[in-house]
Amino acid sequence: MTSLFDLQVNGFAGVDFQQRNLAAPDLRRACAALRAHQTHRILLTLITDEIEALAGKFAAIEAMRAADPLIAETVAGYHLEGPWLSAEPGFCGAHPREKMGAPSLADYRRLQDAAGGNIRLITLAPEWPGSAEFIAAVTLENVVISLGHTDASDAQIDAAIAAGATLCTHLGNGVPQTLHRHDNVIQRLLARDELTACLIPDGIHLPRAVLRNFFRAKPPGRAIFTTDCMAAAGAPDGRYTIGHAEVESRDGVVRVPGQPNFAGSALTPDQGLDNAASWLGISRADARALFSTTIARHFGITLPSFEP
């Protein structure tokens, strides 16, 4: 059976990958737990923080990859989600707004150096000035660009696609609770066949009917699955962190207590596969491809097979 591939994993099995003092035995334990959930390859995702703090985290995880084959294999690369996101209320999600700003090639180089060249995916909001030039420059280095936590206009989305953007991060999330019924960024992104939509099939980030509508709206192979999971995935309900944020996981919902936004999911990839197959009425083989080979191909990653 082909391994699943999750391009947005912020933590797992009680381990928060965002912590500056992340310990190798904890990351190893999270990687082993991901395997137990059919997931042998991920893009380890770091969310908005100060550039030097992010560089420190990348360097520390690179050292763990160099020392441990399980970590090296499982962490096939990195997804950098922030700090080049919308700082507007609602669009910023659970990210710290004060650390956001326009994309900078100098900051990108600092982070890519710390990450050993393994940043494979960047989520950004293309309404920041200089975004098109930034996208054009980093896609030349085989970094995939995804649009997310954004309120981009049609013209800004056009420019991002022309510059090389190809994905939408957790479509339908990273937006305020209420939006204009037609004139909103979800519709603007969903309408673009050039962009592959990343969907979270947990029934919470997207109610089942919305998941079905978004899935049907995209051409075949242009809607894929991810968990955007954090430490609460593969772990019991309770209190966890995602970076500086203290969050609570209850009945599959992860939130900063008292706030409406979700702060990542508690979904495991294998449960996401089961949900997608059953809620979308597609075959398990098709659902597995959309949670593995179809998306791994964007990154040139070959997935291993395993015995269930």
198 neighbors 254 (Cβ within 8 angstroms):
no
41 neighbors 296 (Cβ within 8 angstroms):
yes
Least distance in angstroms from the C-beta of 131 to Zn ion: 17
Least distance in angstroms from the C-beta of 295 to Zn ion: 17
Closest CB to Zn ion among 147 and 157? 147
Closest CB to Zn ion among 8 and 38? 8
Least distance in angstroms from the C-beta of 304 to Zn ion: 28
Closest CB to Zn ion among 175 and 277? 175
Least distance in angstroms from the C-beta of 228 to Zn ion: 6
Closest CB to Zn ion among 89 and 281? 89
Closest chain position to Zn ion (CB)? 174
Spell out the residues 6+ positions from residue 218 whose beta carbon is closer than 8 angstroms to its own.
190, 193, 196, 197
Closest CB to Zn ion among 174 and 243? 174
Least distance in angstroms from the C-beta of 66 to Zn ion: 28
Closest CB to Zn ion among 77 and 289? 77
19 neighbors 307 (Cβ within 8 angstroms):
no
The footprint of Zn ion (CB under 5 A) covers 174
Least distance in angstroms from the C-beta of 25 to Zn ion: 28
Closest CB to Zn ion among 116 and 176? 176
What SS3 string covers the chain? CECEEEEEECEECCEECCCCCCCHHHHHHHHHHHHHCCEEEEEEEEECCCHHHHHHHHHHHHHHHHHCHHHHHHEEEEEEECCCCCCCCCCCCCCCHHHCCCCCHHHHHHHHHHCCCCEEEEEECCCCCCHHHHHHHHHCCCCEEEECCCCCCHHHHHHHHHHCCCEECCCCCCCCCCCCCCCCHHHHHHCCCCCEEEECCCCCCCCHHHHHHHHHHCCCCCEEECCCECCCCCCCCEEEEECCEEEEEECCEEECCCCCCECCECCCHHHHHHHHHHHHCCCHHHHHHHCCHHHHHHHCCCCCECCC
Least distance in angstroms from the C-beta of 88 to Zn ion: 14
Closest CB to Zn ion among 70 and 210? 210
Least distance in angstroms from the C-beta of 141 to Zn ion: 23
